[in-house]
Structure 1
Amino acid sequence: MIDRRHFLTLAGASSALFILPRAGQAADISPQAVFNDPDAPALGNPQGDVTLVEYFDYQCPFCKSNHPVVEQVMKEDGDLRVVMKDWPIFGAPSVYASQLALGAQGLGKYEVALEALMATKGKLTNAQIDSTLAAAGVDPKEAEASYKADRKAIDGLLIRNSQQAIAIGLQGTPAYIIGRDVYPGAVDADTLRRAIKAARES
């Protein structure tokens, strides 16, 4: 595990090294940026005393298989805030899925879109993403229109998420930040519980 105090202490030095040409600015991996981005969807208890941040991709099989574990722990804890950070690294369909899910946030249907896409299997096509959302009650055209209406903010969020992931040194999805530690890869419920407990006590 990577000690959060370590990587956040290094933020001032390392962030200048991780610049995406599209964004034109250095990554911000300060605690405020990582845990409290106002554009990033948050699940669970909005006033929770511990925040879990998840970097994920809708085509990542480990993200999808581990999603019920995170949900289980979030629901049983009751005082956990979960911030979802789209990091679409598996190609164009991943970007499309993120755009529509974040667009669905503007329709009040983010969690519906998230759950539907996380329940899919394997790689996705745009047509599969559309049909999955439609079956769940999210009109893909409305979600796309919502994304386009708020495109600057959503694209900015996706850029920030990517910059942060690179600057922190994440190697792929899923990756979780809880309290002082980074947990790369899928983690079991007991590991999450212990991490939350340690963060709560620190």
Structure 2
Amino acid sequence: MIRLAMSTALALCLAAPAVTAQELSKAQMQELVLQTIRDNPEIVMEAIQVLQSREEQAQADQAQAMLTANRAALDNDPNAPVLGNPDGDVVVVEFFDYNCGYCRRSFDDVHALVASDSNVKVVMREWPILGEESVYAARAALASRAQGKYEEFHNAMMSFEGRANETSVGIIAVELGIDIDQLKRDMEAPEVVAHIQTSMQLTQALNLNGTPAFIFGSQLVPGAIELEQMQALVAQSRDAG
């Protein structure tokens, strides 16, 4: 910001034939900068806007580079559950936490997206960031894969009214006919631990700050979105090939 003001001040100085940059001392230059800002306070806001724009663009470029670098892990991780068509021509990745209200709000829309488009693959990335209860629920969901119950368990957890924790996990497991003892053993399986660790690594690389977060093809979309926007993003991804 100061550099921008100094450049403006210097330009004003050089516009006057009687003064050159060499003839200005450091103190004179600083005073001229301050006086220029006093006379033109809008310079400060312009400088802030320039810096913000550059920072936002740098972050967007970095996120895009990270998406490209981690494409295989995002789209084709064999240790990530998949909803919809495993061979779909558009891949959607969702990072979520069972105790995230916005994730629950998006749940019906994700479900509707899969139901309305038979050529979409949704990769589920358990990202439990809202405490130990969320970690327990994520481990249980991933462990339910061993009994062929992941999608049912996931749907029930997202639809459950109340905290996702050991109690609610137990209730849902019983309702779905899941073997509780096996579930608890499988919650400690290496692939369960690995899935959550990979989610943490990917979100750190992508600079994600909260749930839910979606990836539609090459577009990173943080926050809850509705079905219409999801469908539009799928169409864009499909058109982009």
TM-score when scaled to structure 2? Answer: 0.71
From the superposition, tell whether residues 74 and 93 of structure 1 become closer, same or farther in structure 2 (CA, over 3 Å): same
Q: Structure 1's 32 and 5: CA in aligned 2 closer, same or farther, altered over 3 A?
A: farther
Query: Any gaps of 5 or more consecutive residues in structure 1?
Result: 13-28
CA shift digits 1:146-179 (9 cap, x unpaired): 233xx21210110010111121011100000001
Write out the 4+ residue segments of structure 1 that deviate beyond 4 Å after TM superposition: 1-6
Identity %: 31
- Is the Cα contact below 8 Å between 1:62 and 1:186 reproduced in 2? yes
The residue number in structure 2 matching 1:158 is 196
Q: Alpha carbon RMSD of aligned pairs, Å?
A: 2.2
Structure 1 residues 10 and 99, CA, compared in 2 at 3 Å: closer, same or farther? closer
Residue 79 of structure 1: CA displacement? Answer: 0.2
Cα distance in 1 between the residues matched to 2:147 and 2:66: 38
Report Cα offsets for 1:46-79 as digits up to 9, x if no partner.
Answer: 1100010000001111111211101101111110
The answer on 1:187 being equivalent to 2:225 is yes
Give, as a single letter, the amino acid of the residue that structure 2 aligns with 1:183: V
In the alignment, structure 2 segments of 5+ residues that lack a partner are 1-55
What is the aligned partner in structure 1 of residue 102 from structure 2? 62
Cα shift readout 1:111-153 (whole Å, capped 9, x = no counterpart): 11101111112423311221122123323332222233xx212
Q: Higher relative CO (CA 8 A, sep ≥ 6), structure 1 or 2? A: 1
Partners of 1:4 and 1:56 lie apart in 2 by 21
Q: Is the 8 A contact 1:53 1:178 kept in 2?
A: yes
| Residue equivalent to 1:88 | 128
SS in 1 for 2:109: helix
Change (3 A) 1:4 1:142: farther
Question: Among 166, 171, 196, which residue is 1:126 paired with?
Answer: 166
Which is richer in helix? 2
Query: For the Cα contact (< 8 Å) 1:8–1:30, is it kept in 2?
Result: no
The residue type equivalent to 1:164 in the other structure is L
Paired residues in the alignment total 184
Which residue matches 1:74? 114
User: What are the Cα deviations for residues 80-110 of structure 1, in whole angstroms up to 9, with x where unaligned?
Assistant: 0000000000111111111111111011111
Contact 2:98/2:158 (8 A) holds in 1: yes
1:178 lines up with 2:219 in the alignment: no
